[in-house]
A = this chain, B = another copy of it.
Amino acid sequence: MKQSQLFTKTLKDIQKDEVSQNAILLTKAGFIHKEMAGVYTFLPLGLRVLNKIKNIIREEMNKVGSVELQMTALQDKKLYEATDRWSDEVVDNWFKSKLKNGTEVGLGFTHEEPIANIAAKYVSSYKDLPFSAYQIQTKFRNESRAKAGIMRGREFSMKDLYSFSKNKEEHEKFYDQMKEVYMKVFTRLGIADQTYITLSSGQPFSKYSYEFQTVSEAGEDTIMIDEKKKIAINKEDYSDELVKITGVDPKKLVEKKAIEVGDIYSLGEKYSKAANLKYTDKNGKESLVYMGSYGMSPSRLMGTVVEVNNDKNGIIWPQEIAPFKVHLINLKKDLKDSEQVYYSLQKEGIEVLFDDREISAGVKFADSDLIGIPFRLVVSDKTGEDIELKERNSKKVELISLKSVLKKII
């Protein structure tokens, strides 16, 4: 894409009320625009990153045989009354509205109730189980404070997967599998090294549940890490029992701030009971379906990646989710030579942002560092037949042929 086609620009001055690093960098670099606290528009560059994160998640969910659907934002009060989650005293972050006829509706902050209700329509026999389904959809949470940029939004994207099993054993098999699936996603997003499976207190039907916590000063949680075992305990829920379960040495735990980038829950039969979600086994016996839920927010992950990958000049995107792989910068008067490189790269299927603007080299370099695309190529009068290659996360500048460039970055 030619940069002249992009209507956004980098910004020097941004709203003073932004305090989080991810929001400041993403706003300056032209990835997001703040509509109100915790509510962000994803500008063209930002949407490209968000979609790449969503696709990585989608691929990993599909690999375990989960099927994608898309539920709605508007929620039926009745479904939540049945599980005692409608009242604002029980769930304090509802956004609510009204239909013309006065009927109250909510904006979905999660979707256990509607998915259990849908499943009840289709599940009747043990042959229908187990299965899992997920969506990547917009959630609404009426947070009283929203100061963490795109890491804690009032409106944000969420992948929520729900599993349906015949019993606890079958559920636990899938639950353990999802632990690995989540770590695979974090590996592809380039944050696995600093992300810990973290035990926190469970629900009534399980002794503990798993969170995934990425170490960062921007985090709202504190976790106690056993570096050797690569496991942690959420400080809030620290107990002798969790120490026993994890087998960590309490004396060796290191306290660090961390961002919760995912959580997976055993739900037991709470929601299937409310939705009358039952199945009949081989002998004709009826039982409630055992459910699990598995959350992960693409927009929060995007914010997390920015928090852990940046320097004083801007963002440093990991290759798999960068808005483009190559930032091609033209410094010649004539665009011809750069255009040739541009088309050669595109022919190889490489995503290129081509800075064809008529502005100073200094501004172009500063913009490029701020935007944070992995490979920077410069075509200038000084480069002759060759091209200057620099990686965003390195200081080394090479002068090499187009052919070598292609070899290096394909």
Question: Which A residues form the contact surface with B (CB < 8 A)?
Answer: 1, 5-9, 11, 33, 35-36, 39-44, 46-47, 50, 65, 67-76, 95-101, 105, 107, 114, 118-119, 121-123, 128, 131, 133, 138, 140, 142-144, 154-155, 164
Contact = CB atoms under 8 A, between A and B. Distances in A.
B41 A69 contact: yes
B142 A35 contact: no
Integer count of this chain's copies in the complex: 2
A41 B144 contact: no
22 contacts: A5-B67, A6-B67, A7-B122, A7-B128, A9-B122, A35-B71, A35-B76, A36-B74, A41-B114, A42-B70, A43-B69, A43-B118, A44-B67, A44-B133, A47-B69, A73-B73, A74-B140, A95-B105, A96-B97, A97-B107, A99-B142, A107-B107
Given A9-B122, A44-B133, A96-B97, A155 B69 contact: no
A238 to B, nearest CB: 30
A47 B33 CA distance: 28
Nearest to A42: B70
B41 A70 contact: yes
Given A67-B7, A69-B41, A155-B72, A33 B140 contact: no
B97 A70 contact: no
Contacts of A11: 121
B5 A73 contact: no
B71 A41 contact: yes
Given A7-B128, A128-B7, A138 B69 contact: no
A118 B33 contact: yes
For the residues of A in contact with B, the DSSP-based class is mixed
A118 B68 CA distance: 32
A76 B33 CA distance: 13
A43 to B, nearest CB: 5
A362 to B, nearest CB: 19
A122 B8 contact: yes
Question: Which of A40, A74, A119, A131 has most chain B Cβ within 10 Å?
Answer: A74
Point out which of A11, A33, A128 has the most chain B C-beta atoms below 10 A from its C-beta: A33
A259 B76 CA distance: 29
Contacts of A33: 118, 121
A330 to B, nearest CB: 16
A148 to B, nearest CB: 16
B44 A69 contact: yes
Given A95-B97, A100-B144, A72 B6 contact: no
Nearest to A128: B7
B5 A131 contact: yes
Nearest to A137: B138
A300 to B, nearest CB: 16
Contact of A70 (B47, B74, B164): B47
A114 B35 contact: yes
A7 B75 CA distance: 22
